[in-house]
């Protein structure tokens, strides 16, 4: 199946700093990428939908200025957590689709962010 690579898998940062997480589709072109957040023993919460070359669409309650999403190419989307705080600590997961079928999402391995 299609492979989605996410990097870094684990990051620890100080409060107030910014962290960038990359999501790459390795063997296919992803017209749409999604960013999720997952708390322990909770389901995936969709944060935003990212289409190549256009602005991301954020879900209600997700701060656009805190979670900057860029989808510069068909194989790369980035999530930048700006001025991170301890409450931003979470597991962030990206997924990608070719666009032919919304449900056939391919997920990255996830990135665990810990803000001290």
Partner 1 sequence: QKEVEQDPGPLSVPEGAIVSLNCTYSNSAFQYFMWYRQYSRKGPELLMYTYSSGNKEDGRFTAQVDKSSKYISLFIRDSQPSDSATYLCAMYYQGGKLIFGQGTELSVKP
Whether the Cβ atoms of residue 105 and residue 95 lie closer than 8 Å to each other: yes
**Closest residue by Cα to residue 75 from 45, 110, 102, 108:** 108
Is residue 41 a contact residue for partner 1 (CB under 8 A)?
yes
63: exposed, middle or buried (Cβ count in 10 Å: 0-12, 13-18, 19+):
exposed
Establish if 102 lies at the interface with partner 1 (CB under 8 A).
Answer: yes
Quick one: which of 77, 78, 108, 115 contacts partner 1 (CB under 8 A)?
108
Among 13, 28, 31, 44, binds partner 1 (CB under 8 A): 44
Q: 75 or 95: whose CB is closer to partner 1?
A: 95
Nearer to partner 1, 38 or 82 (CB): 38
Which residues contact partner 1 by CB under 8 A? 1, 4, 6, 34, 41-44, 46, 91, 93, 95, 102-110, 112
């Amino acid at each position: 199946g299609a492979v989605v690579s996410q990097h870094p898998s684990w990051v620890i940062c100080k409060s107030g700093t910014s962290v960038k997480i990359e999501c790459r589709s390795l063997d296919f072109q992803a017209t749409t990428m999604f960013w999720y957040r997952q708390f322990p023993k909770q389901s995936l919460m969709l944060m935003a939908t990212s289409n190549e070359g256009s602005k991301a669409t954020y879900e209600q309650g997700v701060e656009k200025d805190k979670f900057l999403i860029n989808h510069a190419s068909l194989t790369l989307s980035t999530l930048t957590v700006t001025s991170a705080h301890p409450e931003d600590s979470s597991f962030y997961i990206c997924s990608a689709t070719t666009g032919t079928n919304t449900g056939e999402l391919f997920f990255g391995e996830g990135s665990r962010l810990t803000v001290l």
